[in-house]
Amino acid sequence: MYFLHNSSMALPILKATKRHISTMSSPNIEESTMTRIAQPTATVRANQPTTTEIFERERAAVTGNGAGFETARPHHIAQSNVGQRLQSSVGSGKILKKGASGEDVKEMQQLLNRAGANPPLETDGKFGPKTQTALRQFQQQSNISVDGKFGPQSMGAMQQSLQMNPAAPQTPANPTSPQNPGNPTAPEGPQGAQGAQGVQDTSGMSQDQKYDYYAQLIEQNGGQLKDGVNQRNIVGLRTETDADVNGGNGRYDDKMVMIWKDSQGRKQVREYTGNTEPSARYRGRMGVDVNGDGRLDQGRLPSGYYEFTKGHSSRLGSVLRPTRNTMAERDTNQDGLFNDGATGSAGRSMLFHKGGNSMTGSAGCQTLNPTEWRRFWRDLNANGNPGTIGYTLINT
């Protein structure tokens, strides 16, 4: 509870807070991305501020302290464990960017708050627009590359700002395929074979090394590794692509990986080329109007962990269908990019299915061209029914 000792500021703060407390409504569910057109009846539910955030914003407005990054109140956390996990992850090559989630993101949010984020971030472990804005403000104040990604440069600046003790060195989970840390003096992002989430070129790895590496990626990015006999894990490594690419027909430029252990306990890895985003050919025909402007907004799965089971569609044939309703990031300004910070329910419409040869055939689903799809489906069923399949989607 907040106690307001200055009566002149109490009334406007409380009135402003009351105006914002209840703002969310439930969007309608989008139907199958290849079979039905959704109606524009949904409303925005993305990035709603918490009551605490609202209070802090209104307090700043009343007292004249505008939003920004405070620099006069760093907190000494040398004796705290906060940030130790994050230091280890960044030291092993991981770079956090918008769309990431998990404990590393939560620690980053906590550190940004301690370094003076204004307004304070909700430490929910989700790297959304507010977290990216706070990080950019911190980077600008620290005189480092302002790219909105948290890697070696940002970690070093945070250690200096908060006088943090460096994390104790850890033995890599897979000593035979070590992760190469990024260049701390370079901008944070793809570095040679290593992408924004520490993604490596696996062409020189053995099958066991690949399995261990992808298993590590799953766990580092909030997934749940299924390691029982014939239990399947799929990793999607997304390359951000404009929906208007290739004349609006989409492009197969994402990597998909399937890993499992067979009945003999041997590690199995299969790699494919696929697609994880919609193509513009379906713009205006499929989607959900989440901002009430009368236009259907295309959607895609956010990065994160999902579970799928085998299914069948009368129009698409064999598919993988999510086991529960999912959210979708929405392109509300219709520019082909998913950077508007808007989300809405997609129901269970975000499938895995076969695409076309000259087009991805995706209005938001995960698709592979016919040749890759046949190989993918054959591998999926190689040792019998795989049951519930884990899917970890990573923005690279």
For 344, phi and psi rounded to 5 degrees?
-160, 165
Higher pLDDT, 374 or 40: 374
Domain ranges of the chain: 47-162, 207-395
**81 CB-near residues (< 8 Å, 6+ apart):** none
Q: Are 97 and 148 in contact (CB under 8 A)?
A: yes
pTM: 0.55
Alpha-carbon gap, residue 201 to 220, rounded angstroms: 17
CB atoms within 10 A of CB 294: 7
The pLDDT tens digits of the residues spanning 219-272 come to 999 999 999 999 999 999 999 999 999 999 999 999 999 999 999 999 999 999
The predicted pLDDT at position 393 comes to 98
Average pLDDT, the chain: 79
Alpha-carbon gap, residue 344 to 289, rounded angstroms: 9
Check whether 25 has a pLDDT greater than 90: no
**151 CB-near residues (< 8 Å, 6+ apart):** 90, 94, 95, 96, 182, 188, 189
What is the number of residues in the chain?
A: 396
Copy the structure tokens of residue 291. 């901002």
Q: What is the mean pLDDT of residues 160-184?
A: 49
**296 CB-near residues (< 8 Å, 6+ apart):** 37, 38, 40, 283, 284, 285, 286, 287, 288, 289
Work out the burial of residue 287: count CB atoms within 10 Å of its CB; fewer than 13 is exposed, 13-18 middle, 19 or more buried.
buried
At residue 331's C-alpha, the angle toward residues 301 and 34, to 5°, is 60
For 392, phi and psi rounded to 5 degrees?
-110, 115
Check whether 175 has a pLDDT greater than 80: no
Higher pLDDT, 6 or 312: 312
Fold classification of 47-162 (topology level):
Muramoyl-pentapeptide Carboxypeptidase; domain 1 (1.10.101)
Q: At what angle do helices 129-141 and 103-114 cross, to 10 degrees?
A: 50
Q: Are 355 and 252 in contact (CB under 8 A)?
A: yes
What is the Cα gyration radius of the chain? 22
Higher pLDDT, 231 or 87: 231
Q: Are 345 and 42 in contact (CB under 8 A)?
A: yes
Check whether 84 has a pLDDT greater than 90: no
